[in-house]
Amino acid sequence: SWTTGNVIEEQVALIREQVGDKRAICGLSGGVDSAVAAALVQKAIGTQLTCVYVDHGLMRKGETEQVEKDFVAATGVQLKVVDAEERFLTALKGVSDPEEKRKIIGREFIRVFEQAQAEIIADEGPEVAFLVQGTLYPDVVESGGGTGTANIKSHHNVGGLPEDLEFQLVEPLRQLFKDEVRMVGQELGLPEEIVQRQPFPGPGLGIRIVGEVNKERLDLLRDADAIAREELTAAGLDRDIWQCPVVLLADVRSVGVQGDGRTYGHPIVLRPVSSEDAMTADWSRLPYEVLAKISTRITNEVADVNRVVLDVTSKPPGTIEWE
């Protein structure tokens, strides 16, 4: 019968058999899937696994610390953190176009991750032969069921590595649905904030700032987003909504009055949605008191924000994210 205990036991045995005495690398994104996959592999092979976390500086408040501290404390995993904030912000300088932002973030991410992989191989030798991925059952079905290997092009020339590194994939979540992955993560003792995390896009807050991305704007959006998340959690609404992007309209200003005078600040958009699979979505009918609390707190606590607006568009026609 299906129990999380059985799944863990079975996967641990399979991973040990597959990896043997070789070594594996796993990229952590801060999301549920990569965290649970890493925790399972860690349980199976311990220090033969090295995790890599690329901090692109576009995460929400506290998320990087969650990976660096809480995830490591819960699993004992060996973690390499790459602080690449400067690099990403430099690459994003002057860019406002959403597709351009996505392209830059994706490209930089791959470069930084490959560099980290090459360094691990330089340190640990050629027995690094496996790459862990948090592929879920729906991803397997969608992509036609293929599995196998990943080719990593190494254009960094670290320590005389071969031009093309071929990794075998370890995919311990291939038979699981999202809710089952969360249950396995819980059973493995992962932090609640990671196990119950709602979807968050790879490009992070970079695509939730309409306009150019910079550190100041990111900090502002992080503060507003943290308030919205805090109040939604306090109201017990996390399970009712699919996700709630908080968006900064950085190129828009409007007039307000705060304290003793006139302000000319930026609007923050709340985008709470209900959905089954993110293909379609409806705007969530959140209680007015919760919206009021979020609005009051954001305008009081976040400098330069003098207006909070609610997005009442379904998908279609609107996408969930603004960019």
Q: Residue 315 interacts with ligand XMP (CB under 6 A)?
A: yes
- Tell whether 29 is in a known binding site: yes
Q: Residue 320 interacts with ligand XMP (CB under 6 A)?
A: yes
Q: Which is nearer to ligand XMP, 114 or 321 (CB)?
A: 321
For residues 220 and 294, the answer to whether their CB atoms sit within 8 Å is: no
For residues 23 and 49, the answer to whether their CB atoms sit within 8 Å is: yes
Q: Stretches 163-171, 199-207, 217-225, 254-262: which one binds ligand XMP (CB under 6 A)?
A: 199-207
Query: Beta strands of 138-277 (E only): which ranges?
Result: 149-153, 164-170, 209-210, 246-249, 254-258, 261-270, 273-274
Minimum CB–partner distance for residue 130 and ligand XMP (Å): 23
- Tell whether 32 is in a known binding site: yes
Distance of CA 106 to the CA centre of its chain: 13
Q: Looking up tokens 């396995």, which residue turns up?
A: 184
Q: Stretches 49-57, 92-100, 298-306, 315-323: which one binds ligand XMP (CB under 6 A)?
A: 315-323
Structure token digits, residue 273: 């949605």
Q: Residue 139 interacts with ligand XMP (CB under 6 A)?
A: no
As a whole number of angstroms, the distance between CA 319 and CA 248 comes to: 16
Which residue from 245, 216, 242, 263 is spatially nearest to 309, judged by alpha carbons?
245
Q: Residue 185 interacts with ligand XMP (CB under 6 A)?
A: no
Q: Residue 199 interacts with ligand XMP (CB under 6 A)?
A: yes
Task: Report 268-307 residues binding ligand XMP (CB under 6 A).
Answer: 278
Q: Residue 321 interacts with ligand XMP (CB under 6 A)?
A: yes
In which element (H, E) is residue 232 found?
A: helix 215-234
Q: Residue 203 interacts with ligand XMP (CB under 6 A)?
A: yes
Task: Report 233-252 residues binding ligand XMP (CB under 6 A).
Answer: 243
Q: Which is nearer to ligand XMP, 201 or 256 (CB)?
A: 201
To the nearest 10°, the Cα dihedral for 194, 277, 202, 282?
Answer: -100
Number of residues that bind ligand XMP (CB under 6 A): 11
294 C-beta neighbours (distance < 10 Å), count: 26
246 C-beta neighbours (distance < 10 Å), count: 24
Task: Report 84-123 residues binding ligand XMP (CB under 6 A).
Answer: 102
- Tell whether 254 is in a known binding site: no
Q: Which is nearer to ligand XMP, 49 or 200 (CB)?
A: 200
Q: Stretches 40-48, 194-202, 283-291, 298-306: which one binds ligand XMP (CB under 6 A)?
A: 194-202
Which residue from 67, 8, 62, 61 is spatially nearest to 37, judged by alpha carbons?
8
Q: Residue 311 interacts with ligand XMP (CB under 6 A)?
A: no
As a whole number of angstroms, the distance between CA 114 and CA 43 comes to: 25
Q: How many helices (H) and strands (E) does the chain have?
A: 11, 13
Q: Residue 313 interacts with ligand XMP (CB under 6 A)?
A: no
Q: Which is nearer to ligand XMP, 202 or 256 (CB)?
A: 202
| Contact pick of 201, 212, 226, 241 for ligand XMP (by CB under 6 A) | 201
Q: Which is nearer to ligand XMP, 125 or 199 (CB)?
A: 199
For residues 322 and 283, the answer to whether their CB atoms sit within 8 Å is: no
Annotated binding site for ATP: 29-35
Chain residues that interact with ligand XMP, rule: CB under 6 A: 102, 199, 201-203, 243, 278, 315, 319-321
Q: Summarize the annotated binding site as residue ranges.
A: 29-35
